[in-house]
Structures are given as structure tokens and as C-alpha cells.
Structure 1
Amino acid sequence: MTQDLTTTAADGASAPPAGLPSGRFASRETFIQLVRDALATAAREGWGEIVVSDANFHDWPLGERAVAESLQAWAKTGRRFTMLAGSYDDVIRRHARFVRWRGTWDHIITCRRAGSADPLDIPSVLWSPQWVMHRLDPERSVGVTGSEPDRRVLVRETLNDWLHGKSAPGFPASTLGL
């Protein structure tokens, strides 16, 4: 029951940012490349806000050099990066470059943890005011992307519900000992 959701500006929807697709995707490799491309586009176009959400970020390319470079180029005062996870254990274990970047840019980053939630319920999303990628089936890396206003608003409302009602602060930039 999957349908192709590809649209164009001629259909009355917003055109996706340069280089980012609109429509279905159906593989882990495509998902990983979409994350890379979205963060590179965010840096190039100066997106003001990015929200990422996943149960554990296990299969996200956050530890890759290219992704760390894109995030570094994107990060500036006044920008906001929000992250939601059920657990940050895989992030700490698998994505050392991201963890270092997170420590440096703590002042623009908010991390939330939904530890008691079923991992299958936590949305797997990369959201920005310009474009969204929503992995509907994280196990098979099947999802949709697009810049249509309705899609972006719906996903943001879902994320807001998680960020403000179903999660608590998590993943501190550093741990202070006594």
C-alpha cells in the first residue's frame, strides 16, 4: 500500500531544496545518503533549525567525517539543533565525531530522551523548516521525503508532542563528577 508521493512545484507544493528529493525511499543505503545530503544542504543553504529523532540513531551516519564537517559548517550562533532518542547509548558508542561536535556546540543543541517509550513508537525523522525525511519503517528503511508544507507541519506536530510531552532532557554534553 505504498504510493509514490513525488510532487513538483507545478503541483502547487513547495519544491524541495536543491539536491534533495521529494517522494519515497526504500533502502538503508538511500536513507544514509539522504541524511548526508540533507546535512550538507543545511550547511550550504543555512537552515536555521534541524530536528533529528530516532529510537537510537544506530544506523544514522552521524560518526562520518563528511557528516561532522557538514554539521560544523552549519553550526552558528542563532541556529538550533534538537535531538530526540529513546537511548543515546549507540550514539556514544558509534558516533565519536558527533559526540565531540555535540560537546563543542552545546549552546545550540537540545537533546531529549524518551527512555520509557517503545522504540518502535519514536519517530525516525530529519526535519527542517525547508524539508523533511520521515522513515516510516526504520527496520526496512522505508520512508518519504518532501518539502510540502502539510508534510512539514504534520511531522513537526508529531515531534512537538514527543519533545514537550513524552521526553525529558538527556545526553548531556559532559558529565560532571564530584
Structure 2
Amino acid sequence: MLPPEEGASAPLPEGPFDGRQAFHAHLKTAMAEAAQQNWREIVFSDPDFADWPLGERAAIEALQAWAASGRQLVLLAQHFRVFEREHARFVSWRQSWSHIIDARACHGPGLPLVPSAIWTPTWCLRRIDLDHDRGVCGTEPERRRGLREAIDECLRHGRPAFPASTLGL
């Protein structure tokens, strides 16, 4: 077996995962791969993002490497209350890149539940058991399509949220 090339990226994970450490590792791998894979769109979806590592320096560096004109990051949540407190670096980065970020909230009686997931054109991760951080990830078209349908249903009912600036007029 040949050693990995200098600067080579880790392969995206495939299959089931179990536990917070695996969930965080998969999220970080996906963020690091975003620029390498040249993903034009990424969807981050979670009821509240409280336990995502979005405030970490490595996550912001990875998103910065990915961000460019023509890219889009969709954020979908029930609410975004934890961001100021838990993800300050992300809030600052979001202000600089607001033109490529669409943040939507979907919450209320009769509305679909927001999945905990990352969707990309070629790979996805879906956390099925939020209490134990269990889920599945992979490149299968059926899995990506099913997840995208669930996300799109929430987006149809969603409203703009998490503004880049809280300045008033």
C-alpha cells in the first residue's frame, strides 16, 4: 500500500456511525472536503445546531476554503438561538459571506421536523438518533434524494432567519 500523498484529503465516510466523536469527525471531514470536492451547494440542517462543531477554528477555515462566488450554503433549523453563544466564529464568518448563505427556520404546529443532516450533490450524512448521535452517511443516490426531499419540504415551509446583521434602520 502506498503512503497518502502530501495534502491528500481523507475519504468521505460511508455507512453507519455511532456516537458524538464519530458524528463530529464526519462533520469535520465533510467540511474539509467541501473545497476539494468542489461542492457548489451544501445544506446544513439541524433542529438547533447546539452540538455541531461550527464554532471551531478548523470548521471556519474549511468553510473559508470552500466559500467562493457561485457557491451556496443553506442553513435549515427550527431556530438559531445557540449561534451567538456557541458558534461565535461561525457568526462572524457568516457576516462576511452572507451573500452565499440562505438561512431558514421551519418550526410550528403541523410543520415537518427539521432533519439533522448535511446534504451535498455527491454525499450526505443524516443523524437518525439525535440523543445518541447515531446515523448513516454515504454517496448512494437514493439516500441523497430522500434526504433532499425531506429538506426541501422543510424549506417550502421555512421562513428567512438568522440575519447576518442585527442592525436596525
Return the TM-score normalized by structure 2.
0.90
**Corresponding residue pairs, total:** 161
CA RMSD of aligned residues (A): 1.8
SS at match of 1:102: helix
* Alpha-carbon contact 2:127-2:135 (below 8 Å) kept: yes
Superposition pairs of residues 25-36 of structure 1, within 5 angstroms: 25-36=17-28
Provide the residue aligned with 2:167 in structure 1: 176
SS at match of 1:34: helix
Provide the residue aligned with 1:45 in structure 2: 37
What is the rounded CA distance, in whole Å, between the counterparts of 1:58 and 1:46 in structure 2?
27
Q: In structure 1, give the amino acid aligned to 2:167.
A: L
* Alpha-carbon contact 1:132-1:146 (below 8 Å) kept: yes
Identity percentage over the alignment? 47
SS at match of 1:89: coil
What is the rounded CA distance, in whole Å, between the counterparts of 1:40 and 1:83 in structure 2?
18
Q: How big is each residue's C-alpha offset from its partner over 1:153-174, in whole Å with a ceiling of 9 and x where there is no partner?
A: 111011000011x211100000
Q: In structure 2, give the amino acid aligned to 1:163.
A: L
Q: How big is each residue's C-alpha offset from its partner over 1:86-117, in whole Å with a ceiling of 9 and x where there is no partner?
A: 11111221001111111111111000012326
What is the rounded CA distance, in whole Å, between the counterparts of 2:150 and 2:81 in structure 1?
24
**82, 90, 95: which one pairs with 1:98?**
90
Q: Which runs of 4+ in 1 moved over 4 A?
A: none
Give ranges in structure 1 of 5+ residues lacking alignment: 1-16
Provide the residue aligned with 2:122 in structure 1: 130
Give the Å deviation of 1:121: 2.6
Q: In structure 1, give the amino acid aligned to 2:64.
A: Q
